[in-house]
Amino acid sequence: MSHRSVMLGALADGVTQVQGFLEGEDALATVAAFRAMGVRIDGPTGGRLSIHGAGLNGLSAPEHPLDMGNSGTSMRLLSGLLAGQTFNTELVGDASLMKRPMGRVITPLEKMGASITSAPDGRPPLQILGGQPLRGIHYDLPIASAQVKSCVLLAGLMASGRTSVTEPAPTRDHTERMLRGFGYSVEEASGVISVEGGGSLQAADIDIPADISSAAFFLIGASIAPGSDLLLRHVGMNPTRTGVLSILDLMGANIEIINPREVGGEPVADLRVRYAPLKGIQIPEEFVPLAIDEFPALFIAAACAEGTTILTGAEELRVKESDRIASMARGLDALGIVNQPTPDGIRIEGGSMGSATIETFDDHRIAMSFSMAALRAQGPITILDCDHVATSFPGFADLASGVGLQLDMTL
């Protein structure tokens, strides 16, 4: 939502006010990109931003390649927004992002008339040729992906005619909700999401709730640590994002939803989580796209559960910041947890965790997940290369220490 608030605010007419902005490196990369394209953005200060919109066609050519850092969201969504601009752009990122596949957005954008070149196998850098007229298409997503869906819909804003997307399973719908919040019509019927090109966006006030992907580490930490009782306030409860709650509920977690309400078009609530013995389950595949970013933390819950947890239908985890199935399996192996990776998931046998040194493969969610594992490990867990935690959760260490996790950051 932080990414989308900047992108749509930059293309809107008027000044958009944002509060609750996540000041992680990923979202700040999006801010920097739009500043490089001539958009005045004040902040962030205490989670507040003022975005002076340039209008749908008001961006200017950046002087240098746009550096997306570690942010796949920034690169994939910006590809859609930039495909219909009049100027050339180049999108680059850090070593991890430069290995991630972008063919999944290049393919539909080229069908719309965009001209994009990439490194072999559709990997960055992406060079987007300006001045290419886009035309609306209907695109059937081959896999459920909110980033690809959003990329196509955002390109549709600058395309002639109607652009529509069919997704094989529901994915997070923040883009659709926020487009409506900026006054742009989005139609949804029978799994098809559509926009008409040629409209305009109007500045809006955006209140971003706490990210449930970040909350997931604390939901699971409190669930596995005996005696825990934690209240998480103002957490986003978008139904396309609450798969982690559904999965934890099936595992026997004790999570109470308090004061559900709606803020700025998004459902939010407070979540009270208390320790409960968890049990292994077969994770329903319909929950997979609703919890795709939370699975590293859920693997830790599975390691602490009684019995076997089986995940299938999650091949998307193979192409995240790291191969998250392989990365988590390696860490679980080091801790003595029996597991069997598969091409689209993993089988985890709950058990006792020992002491180990964990490779993160420069993946922020791997680092934070194994931090929570220390709540149940029989000895210390040393986690290497944690700098990337700041990409999505810059305050994680302080917050975790504040609620009782014993972290030593001096190593």
Q: What is the pLDDT of residues 185-237, one digit of tens each?
A: 999 998 899 999 999 999 999 999 999 999 999 999 999 999 999 999 999 99
The 10 Å Cβ neighbour count of residue 408 is 8
In a domain, 260, yes or no: yes
Q: Are residues 219 and 84 in the same domain?
A: no
Final residue of a domain: which of 184, 207, 230?
Answer: 207
> Which sign does the torsion angle of CA 138, 142, 146, 152 carry?
negative
Tell me the mean pLDDT in the region 99-114.
96
Please check whether residues 202 and 92 belong to one and the same domain. yes
Residue 288's pLDDT band (boundaries 50, 70, 90)?
very high
- Indicate which CATH number applies to the domain containing 236: 3.65.10.10
pLDDT for the residue 409: 75
Task: pLDDT band for 317, please (50, 70, 90 cuts).
Answer: very high
pLDDT band at 154 (very low <50, low <70, confident <90, very high): very high
Q: Inform me whether the pLDDT recorded for 411 exceeds 50.
A: no
Number of domains in the chain: 2
Catalytic residue from among 293, 333, 398, 408: 293
Average pLDDT over residues 28-49: 97
Closest CA to 239 of 281, 314, 290: 290
Within-domain flag for 410: no
Q: Are residues 298 and 170 in the same domain?
A: no
Residue 409 lies in a domain: no
Q: Does 107 lie in the same domain as 14?
A: yes
- Given a cut of 80, whether residue 267 has pLDDT beyond it is yes
pLDDT digits (tens, 9 = 90+) for 176-194: 999 999 999 999 998 899 9
Model pLDDT, residue 184: 97
Tell me what the pLDDT averaged over the chain comes to. 95
Same structural domain, 154 and 250: no
Output phi, psi for 16, to 5 deg. Answer: -95, 130
Domain that holds residue 335: 212-402
- Displacement of CA 208 from its chain's centroid (Å): 14
Query: Is residue 38 in some structural domain?
Result: yes
In a domain, 121, yes or no: yes
Whether residues 203 and 272 fall in one domain: no
Q: Residue 308 has what pLDDT?
A: 98
Residues 144 and 221 both lie in one domain: no
Residue 385 known to be catalytic: no
pLDDT at 410: 63
* pLDDT for position 264: 75
Asked which of 148, 178, 207 is the last residue of a domain, the reply is 207
Residues 256 and 113 in one domain: no
User: Is 293 within the bounds of a domain?
Assistant: yes
Q: Does one domain contain both 26 and 67?
A: yes
pTM score: 0.86
Q: Is the pLDDT of residue 294 over 80?
A: yes
Residue 55: the pLDDT is 96
- Residue (of 384, 390, 396) closest to 71 by Cα position: 390
pLDDT higher than threshold 90 for residue 74: yes
| 407 located within any domain | no
Per residue in 330-385, pLDDT tens?
A: 999 999 999 999 999 999 999 999 999 999 999 999 999 999 999 999 999 999 99
Last residue of a domain, one of 207, 239, 270: 207
For residue 323, pLDDT over 80 is answered with yes
Looking at the structure, tell me whether residues 268 and 236 fall in a common domain: yes
User: Residue 187's beta-bridge partner residues?
Assistant: 194
Asked if 193 and 59 sit in the same domain, the reply is yes
In the chain, pLDDT over 90 holds for what percent of residues? 91
Is residue 275, in this structure, part of any structural domain at all? Answer: yes
**156 and 250 assigned to the same domain:** no
